[in-house]
């Protein structure tokens, strides 16, 4: 599973293992924050741990 990264400057998001040095949208060296969604609503786990027995 890849991480989601969001540019703090323009809000551009992308999914990759590591944030790029240069924002594809700004074309500048922006700071990226990890906005990977871990909540079940995102459906990225495929299973609910409460039902895991």
Tell me how far, at minimum, the Cβ of 6 lies from Zn ion, in Å.
9
Question: 3-state class of 14 per DSSP?
Answer: strand
Question: Residue numbers of the site for Zn ion (CB under 5 A)?
Answer: 7, 9-10, 12, 23, 25-26, 30
CB of 30 to Zn ion, least distance (A): 4
Give me the least distance between CB of 45 and Zn ion, in Å please: 29
Nearer to Zn ion, 33 or 37 (CB): 33
Render the burial of 25-53: b for 16+ CB within 10 Å, e for the rest: eeeeebebeeeeeeeeeeeeeeeeeeeee
């Amino acid at each position: 599973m890849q991480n989601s990264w969001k540019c703090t400057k323009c809000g551009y998001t992308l999914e990759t293992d590591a944030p790029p040095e240069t924002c594809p949208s700004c074309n500048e060296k922006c700071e990226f924050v990890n906005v990977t969604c871990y909540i079940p609503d995102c459906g990225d786990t495929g299973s609910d741990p409460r039902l895991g027995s």
